[in-house]
Amino acid sequence: MSQWNFLFSSIIITFLYFNLNLFLTNSETIVKNLEYPCKPPYNSYPFCDTSLPITTRAQSIISHLTLPEKIQQLCNNASGIPRLGIPAYEWWSESLHGIATNGPGITFNGTIQAATSFPQVIVTASAFNRTLAMYNVGQAGLTFWAPNINIFRDPRWGRGQETPGEDPMVASAFAVDFVRGFQREKASGGGGNVKRVVRKRSLSDGDDDGNEGLMLSACCKHMIAYDLELWNNFARYNFNAVVTAQDMQDTYQPPFQSCIQQGKASCLMCSYNAVNGIPACADKELLQKARNDWGFEGYITSDCDAVATIFEYQNYTKSPEDAVAIALKSGTDINCGTYMLFNTKSAIEQGKVQEMDIDKALLNLFLVQLRLGLFNGDPTKGPYGKLGPKDVCSTEHKTLALEAARQGIVLLKNRNKFLPFNKDSISSIAVIGPLANNTSKMGGGYTGTNLNFPKSIFEGLQAYVKNVNYAPGCLAVSCESTSGFEEAISIAKDADIVVIVAGLDLSQETEDHDRYSLLLPGFQSKLITTIAAISKKPLVLVITGGGPIDLSMANGDERIASILWIGYPGEAGGNALAEIIFGDYNPGGRLPLTWYPEAFTSVPMNDMNMRADPSRDYPGRTYRFYTGKVVYGFGYGLSFTNYTYKLLNAPKQLTLSGSISPESKRKIQLQIGEGYQLDYINLDEVESCNSLKFNVQVSVMNEGEMDGSHVIMLYSRVTNEHAGAPRKQLIGFDRVQTTSYRGTESSFLVDPCNHFSFANEHGKRILPLGDHALVLEDQEHIVSIQI
Ligand SMILES: *[C@@H]1O[C@H](CO)[C@@H](O)[C@H](O)[C@H]1NC(C)=O
Ligand SMILES: *[C@@H]1O[C@H](CO)[C@@H](O)[C@H](O)[C@H]1NC(C)=O
Ligand SMILES: *[C@@H]1O[C@H](CO)[C@@H](O)[C@H](O)[C@H]1NC(C)=O
Ligand SMILES: *[C@@H]1O[C@H](CO)[C@@H](O)[C@H](O)[C@H]1NC(C)=O
Ligand SMILES: *[C@@H]1O[C@H](CO)[C@@H](O)[C@H](O)[C@H]1NC(C)=O
Ligand SMILES: *[C@@H]1O[C@H](CO)[C@@H](O)[C@H](O)[C@H]1NC(C)=O
Ligand SMILES: *[C@@H]1O[C@H](CO)[C@@H](O)[C@H](O)[C@H]1NC(C)=O
């Protein structure tokens, strides 16, 4: 794994500890009424005995429950069982990029009033820095429903901002890092039946006590092919995603498979939508594949009321009881919401659900609670019992939020090296736009409460230049009127420099809300051209929002010198942007998704096909398959310096070892050229993929006057056209620190079985024989695979 130290990322090692919602004010003060399972006198049950295997303990809990008590566990707000000393438990907490207020498990009304707001995931992803880590602490449960790792398939998707973008390899890498950081699985002391990853903790307050278990539980969501909210007649609740076996195998599934196999996530969330006619939470084959093929050990929750939608929106069953039965029997363990609570009893009476179906779900649920240490007695004596308010919004977290914002900002245009500015040569700035002096939703969707730190863009600029004037220009992001233009013009006219903040906020893209257009909302473009016409110098345009915008107009307009994308940069976005504008940080972020032109909106959003189909004018999706024009491509991003690249060494030829029989060789037609055939081999027939792996050394030269941290991206491409092959695919990335006029080297481990293959139309991965290109920006190196 270490050679694949490429990359990026941002991992949210969110790490919070909340003792069943009662916060410990500090390590010395033990809250009097702290409720927890196994508190004396309820500590003599076998399930409290930490020396027993956790499966035995989980079965012990189940054996003590009555049927009505069992049913009360099948929802997110699981009831307490006072006669056993077990308090209620809220499974639903959210932490996509810091603690969010979206789940009922989280409150900000106690000792803790706020938490660090890190950049939205799409911004963190654009940093492509794997070691970028985040820590935070909040009032919450221990089970969090993050990360969101659905592929950002369509630029209109309202929740694309929550994801790491359009590439399955990036999403997989993000998922693995997020879950590992988040769960912090500890080494087994022996005896546990759950496999453990040995991982060193770096808590300042604790030594590893050898307890097995999870610090927190992370949840891979939403399984699967969920990436449409509400578009024309299609709503996420009734949508049937028609997905080919091919796209499932090499686009939709990989992030989930990685999240479970390598990340070892302890929760999966099934989505509202159906896939090829079967609602995800009722899809036994899908959910069991996770357990049986990927080794999933954890619980499966439905998205909120996604068991109800099986009947009510998907019309997949004839009654609520049938919906509960099929969900439970397929492997869904709890329904977020009350649907199972209210319909399980009658489902049992009707003989549709058996008590053993419930016991199976409860075993999964209690095993996770046990791994979290919930039944190990007084949590203040546990490994994280000393965490407290001092650990929330700490200096370290704030610094990290700032660092993440810096790294994620993407420079899209910079004509004639307009940026950076020298602050001493600028006496006044006009900053224009409805979001330029507003910090309320700088983190985008699933943001928490942040009282103490957020800096607006206006304030960020003020830290460099005293004389900053602000006018909203548009009253809201929707910009339905030009009535604020006058004021904006008046401050812009006299300023040395004009910065316009345009783009999207959650009124344009969010849960249950997809866009219909990729253009700037309302009169925003008009605001930009109006100001550009009167300003002394060309403009700096700052773009907010998670989804791509068709900026062709601004990109081609000479009066707009520089364009920066900040996404939803979180609490420190204003500072980070100002640091870049004034040259204290050399931008290095790169777009984790394709920016399409407005014409793309003629593609039906409900069409899940990734691959282009010229016979019906279908352009395909994402950089891997899209054949049309782009505004900015995947991986696009400038800096204040230029870089040149070299592929230093890599093999020219690889020979598949082992005895591959001639019969096992398959032929596929070349898309272009007649009568010409190429060999390929089914990946599962390749012996010893490990021996094919090789290292590629690369060098990147910083050709400019500024040091900078830079993302190296390595792609592969099949050089002959194979039907269904990606145009290219990302196989590695590494963010490296570079020095002015110096070269920096990096190396990538290439795994040809994984990196040179793709899925055929039966959903089987195939490895084309013959030439493959390694692509590093403008450099290519051919590796030939032979038998
Ligand atoms: C969970 O909350 C719902 C309302 O949101 C309520 O009807 C139900 O009784 C609660 N269940 C438990 C077990 O507290
Ligand atoms: C905080 O809010 C929760 C949920 O709204 C409520 O149950 C709780 O009593 C409140 N706590 C305080 C200290 O106000
Ligand atoms: C990646 O992120 C980490 C954590 O913020 C930072 O220390 C490191 O400098 C970053 N790497 C580069 C090359 O910018
Ligand atoms: C599902 O059933 C409801 C009534 O129960 C009906 O209104 C709706 O149109 C049906 N939807 C589909 C997709 O058949
Ligand atoms: C910016 O917003 C803050 C908070 O809403 C407000 O107090 C301040 O006056 C605004 N600044 C300007 C220049 O409008
Ligand atoms: C900030 O923006 C939000 C919407 O994003 C809006 O509700 C709020 O009124 C704005 N605040 C100010 C001070 O303009
Ligand atoms: C990068 O190179 C291009 C083409 O040679 C040149 O136009 C541009 O000014 C350079 N940019 C920087 C920041 O050096």
Among 77, 92, 344, residue to substitute to test ligand 1 (most atoms within 8 Å of Cβ): 77
- The Å distance, Cα 131 to ligand 1 centre, comes to 41
Architecture of domain 16-390: Alpha-Beta Barrel (3.20)
In 10 A of CB 451, how many CB atoms? 10
State the helix-helix crossing angle for 355-371 and 320-330, rounded to 10 degrees: 50
- Mind listing the pLDDT tens digit for each residue in 589-600? 999 999 999 999
- pLDDT of 136 reads 32
In 10 A of CB 293, how many CB atoms? 11
Pairwise pLDDT comparison (203 vs 663), residue with the higher score = 663
555 has a pLDDT exceeding 80: yes
Q: How confident is the model at residue 531 (pLDDT cuts 50, 70, 90)?
A: very high
Residue 786 near ligand 4, beta carbon < 6 Å: no
- The Å distance, Cα 102 to ligand 6 centre, comes to 19
Q: How confident is the model at residue 182 (pLDDT cuts 50, 70, 90)?
A: confident
- pLDDT of 671 reads 37
DSSP 81: B
199 has a pLDDT exceeding 60: no
Among 437, 440, 459, residue to substitute to test ligand 5 (most atoms within 8 Å of Cβ): 437
- Ligand 7, atom 4, lies closest to the CA of 642
As a whole-number percent, the residues of the chain with pLDDT over 70 amount to 87
- pLDDT of 609 reads 98
CB-based contact 673:726 (threshold 8 Å): no
Within 8 A by CB and 6+ apart from 11, the residues are 130, 131, 132, 133, 134, 174, 177, 178, 180, 181, 182
CA dist., res. 306 & res. 508, Å (int): 25
Residue 338 near ligand 1, beta carbon < 6 Å: yes
User: Is 227 tagged catalytic?
Assistant: no
- The Å distance, Cα 103 to ligand 1 centre, comes to 14
**What would the mean pLDDT of 503-532 be, rounded to a whole number?**
97
Q: How confident is the model at residue 608 (pLDDT cuts 50, 70, 90)?
A: very high
- pLDDT of 1 reads 23
Pairing of strands 267-270, 219-223: parallel
DSSP 90: E
- pLDDT of 130 reads 79
Q: How confident is the model at residue 663 (pLDDT cuts 50, 70, 90)?
A: low
- pLDDT of 209 reads 33
45 has a pLDDT exceeding 70: yes
Within 8 A by CB and 6+ apart from 643, the residues are 700, 701, 702, 703, 710, 738, 777
Among 21, 71, 75, 91, residue to substitute to test ligand 1 (most atoms within 8 Å of Cβ): 75
- pLDDT of 453 reads 62
- Ligand 7, atom 13, lies closest to the CA of 641
Closest CA to 360 of 87, 47, 62, 48: 62
CA dist., res. 668 & res. 660, Å (int): 17
687 has a pLDDT exceeding 90: no
- pLDDT of 664 reads 55
Side-chain-side CA neighbours of 223 within 13 Å: the count stands at: 31
- The Å distance, Cα 93 to ligand 2 centre, comes to 15
208 has a pLDDT exceeding 60: no
- Ligand 6, atom 13, lies closest to the CA of 438
568 has a pLDDT exceeding 60: yes
**What would the mean pLDDT of 145-163 be, rounded to a whole number?**
96
Q: How confident is the model at residue 116 (pLDDT cuts 50, 70, 90)?
A: confident
Average pLDDT across the chain, whole number: 87
- pLDDT of 99 reads 75
**What would the mean pLDDT of 32-48 be, rounded to a whole number?**
88
**What would the mean pLDDT of 265-271 be, rounded to a whole number?**
97
**What would the mean pLDDT of 29-44 be, rounded to a whole number?**
77
Closest CA to 503 of 592, 412, 405, 590: 412
15 has a pLDDT exceeding 70: no
- DSSP labels, 198-260: ------TT-------B-SSB-EEEEETT---SEETTEETTT-EE---HHHIIIIISHHHHHHH
- The Å distance, Cα 609 to ligand 4 centre, comes to 26
- pLDDT of 670 reads 39
- pLDDT of 302 reads 98
Residue 315 near ligand 4, beta carbon < 6 Å: yes
Fold of 643-786: Immunoglobulin-like (2.60.40)
CA dihedral 392, 393, 398, 404 (to 10 degrees): 60
Q: How confident is the model at residue 547 (pLDDT cuts 50, 70, 90)?
A: very high
Q: Which of 180-194, 223-237, 708-722 has the lowest mean pLDDT?
A: 180-194
Catalytically annotated residue among 177, 250, 303, 322: 303
767 has a pLDDT exceeding 90: yes
DSSP 293: T
- Mind listing the pLDDT tens digit for each residue in 350-392? 999 999 999 999 999 999 999 999 999 887 777 777 776 777 7
- Mind listing the pLDDT tens digit for each residue in 459-508? 999 999 999 999 999 999 999 999 999 999 999 999 999 999 999 999 99
Task: Give me the residue spans of the domains in the chain.
Answer: 16-390, 398-625, 643-786
As a whole-number percent, the residues of the chain with pLDDT over 90 amount to 72
Which atom belonging to ligand 5 lies closest to the Cα atom of 438? 2
- Ligand 4, atom 1, lies closest to the CA of 315
- Ligand 4, atom 5, lies closest to the CA of 312
- pLDDT of 2 reads 23
**What would the mean pLDDT of 416-433 be, rounded to a whole number?**
97
**What would the mean pLDDT of 266-294 be, rounded to a whole number?**
98
CATH of 398-625, one of 3.40.50.720, 3.40.50.1700, 3.30.70.270, 3.40.50.1100: 3.40.50.1700
- Ligand 7, atom 1, lies closest to the CA of 642
CB-based contact 56:329 (threshold 8 Å): no
- pLDDT of 567 reads 97
Indicate the helix (H) or strand (E) that contains 369: helix 355-371
- The Å distance, Cα 126 to ligand 7 centre, comes to 22
566 has a pLDDT exceeding 80: yes
